[in-house]
Amino acid sequence: MINELSSVKNALSVLVLALVIALYLFANSSFFETDTLEWTGLSYLGADQLDLYMNFPKTNVWRVDTRELAAALMEHPWVETAKATWRWPNRIIVSVQERTPVAQTPTAGGWVLLDREGGLLPSTQTGVTYSLPIVTNLDITSPEQLVATARLMGMIPTKLQGSISEWNVSSRSFVTLTGIEILMGQPVDLEEKFILLEKILDDLILRNDHAKRIDLRVPKSPVISIL
């Protein structure tokens, strides 16, 4: 009887050991290998750009530290947040939230973009034209100017965003796509100035008038120069 119990225990031990070895070999097989990251949430960046940036080697997904991978990706200047998740059997899905550009500005080294926090973003591709207002006379070495400009651009009402072509930092003026110069003056009462600007532009359209300049430096007494 004792010998029979011992034989059963030995058989079970061998079976468990075989199962563990089989699981180990299966988990480390090519079935779980990948050298591809699947990207979601991209608007400005391309998957090929992030593939090149990460240089992800062929590896077993069980050995991928998804938190470490996301942390490395967040070193990219365009990436605000990132989250990597594993999907059976060998897929790594990376969800990216890009930084939001609000304007673009020319520099000696080419065009750069300004995000809503006042950070500078490199152009994602050479020669690409973005549908964003151009900021001129901006000192990109001045954090104060960068933050103030980003704040201003972020305050532009949705209705006006498609009509603003340029913001000139030194003259504190906008230029619309139709060539109207809008003098904003000091960065005070901005909400009031934007509301007033919407009303003036709507009124010009209703009257079929074309303005050369709209002076909102004193919002209580706006000055409109008609062509």
Q: What angle do CA 220, 182, 159 make, to 5 degrees?
A: 90
Could you give the angle at which helices 47-54 and 66-73 cross, rounded to 10 degrees? 110
Please tell me the predicted confidence (pLDDT) of residue 28.
64
* Nearest alpha carbon to residue 119 among 103, 97, 136, 133: 103
Q: Where are the domains of the chain?
A: 2-98, 101-226
The CATH T-level fold of domain 101-226 is Rossmann fold (3.40.50)
Q: What angle do CA 176, 177, 181 make, to 5 degrees?
A: 30
Helix, coil or strand: residue 173: strand
Burial (Cβ within 10 Å: 0-12, 13-18, ≥19) of residue 191: exposed
* Nearest alpha carbon to residue 218 among 191, 186, 195: 186
Spatial separation of the C-alpha atoms in residues 96 and 39, rounded to whole Å: 7
Please tell me the predicted confidence (pLDDT) of residue 124.
84
In the chain, which ranges are continuous DSSP H helix? 2-27, 47-54, 66-73, 143-155, 158-161, 190-207
Residue 146 contacts residue 118 (beta carbons within 8 Å):
yes
CATH of domain 2-98: 3.10.20.310
Give, for all 227 residues of the chain, the pLDDT tens digit. Answer: 555 556 656 666 666 665 656 555 555 678 789 999 999 999 999 999 999 999 999 999 999 999 999 999 999 999 999 999 999 999 999 999 999 999 999 998 889 999 999 999 998 876 667 889 999 999 999 999 999 999 999 999 999 999 999 999 999 999 999 999 999 999 999 999 999 999 999 999 999 999 999 999 999 999 999 98
pTM of the model: 0.82
Residue 93 phi, psi (nearest 5): -100, 125
Six-digit token string for 123: 């152009």
**Looking up tokens 């690409």, which residue turns up?**
128
CA dihedral 104, 106, 110, 113 (to 10 degrees): -20
* Nearest alpha carbon to residue 185 among 226, 221, 139, 209: 221
Please tell me the predicted confidence (pLDDT) of residue 109.
86
Please tell me the predicted confidence (pLDDT) of residue 220.
94
